[in-house]
């Protein structure tokens, strides 16, 4: 299967609208979780490097998903980890903070760089350093109005609010100018996974993607 270029991956993330932040207790849970999310039309998967055997899981996932899915790595704090994740098959790299060498490493391999930033200065610094998308984190402390305020003077920014994004506020973040949404605990619910209730993940994924589509149609 042909690997998409960086620009194509950015467009895929924007089109899909939701990036699932997957942080699990065991890599064996990864396949069933990703299948459940895909059944709800959430197909951009961020495998966090804080998960045990994360690179192993990422390698398997990247090799077995179809072309409709996009697999990346999250919680990447340094260029060395970014390189390992890219070699394992990641098509996008997400970090909670901005590190210029991580962006540089991603671009060396034609992979999407999505660093995290919080303040307007941090966000613009990351953008000017070449970030393809910017993870606004933690979004729960800021709210949709913050994105709208940022996009006023800086409409060129491609922002992905993450942290505290739910079905209830997803539409407001999209309406405020989010390119996509990063969703973790509300979507990848640990208690549901622990009891094997993967249908709960699928149902939430469907509601979430429906909320994104509805907000975009109203825009």
Catalytically active residues, by annotation: 46, 135
Residues in the chain: 219
Residue 117 CB contacts under 8 Å (≥ 6 apart), including other chains: 97, 98, 123, 125, 126, 134, 135, 136, 137
Query: Residue 93 and residue 102: Cα distance in Å, rounded?
Result: 8
Query: Residue 160 and residue 127: Cα distance in Å, rounded?
Result: 13
Sheet holding 18-22, edge to edge: 112-114, 92-94, 70-74, 44-48, 18-22, 181-183
For residue 15, what are the CA distances in angstroms to 11, 68, 178, 179? 6, 11, 12, 9
| Chain centre to alpha carbon of residue 87 | 19
Query: Residue 43 and residue 30: Cα distance in Å, rounded?
Result: 13
Q: Which residue has the tokens 């149902």?
A: 203
Angle at 21 between CA 20 and CA 23, to 5 degrees: 130
């Amino acid at each position: 299967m042909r690997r998409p270029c960086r620009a194509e991956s950015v467009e895929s993330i924007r089109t899909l609208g939701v990036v699932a932040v997957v942080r699990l207790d065991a890599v064996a849970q990864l396949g069933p979780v990703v299948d459940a999310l895909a059944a709800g039309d959430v197909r951009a998967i961020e495998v966090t490097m804080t998960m045990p055997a994360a690179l192993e899981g990422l390698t398997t996932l990247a090799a077995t998903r179809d072309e409709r899915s996009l697999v990346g790595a999250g919680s990447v704090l340094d260029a060395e980890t970014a390189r390992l994740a890219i070699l394992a098959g990641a098509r996008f790299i997400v970090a909670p903070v901005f590190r210029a060498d991580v962006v540089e490493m991603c671009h060396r391999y034609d992979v999407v760089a999505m660093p995290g930033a919080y303040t307007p200065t941090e966000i613009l610094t990351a953008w000017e350093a070449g970030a393809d998308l910017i993870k606004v984190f933690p979004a729960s402390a800021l709210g949709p109005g913050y994105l709208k305020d940022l996009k006023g003077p800086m409409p060129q920014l491609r922002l992905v609010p993450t942290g505290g994004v739910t079905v209830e506020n997803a539409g407001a973040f999209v309406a405020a100018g989010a390119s996509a949404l990063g969703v973790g605990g509300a979507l990848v619910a640990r208690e549901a996974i622990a009891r094997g209730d993967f249908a709960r993940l699928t149902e939430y994924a469907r509601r979430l993607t429906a909320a994104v589509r509805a907000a975009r149609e109203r825009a």
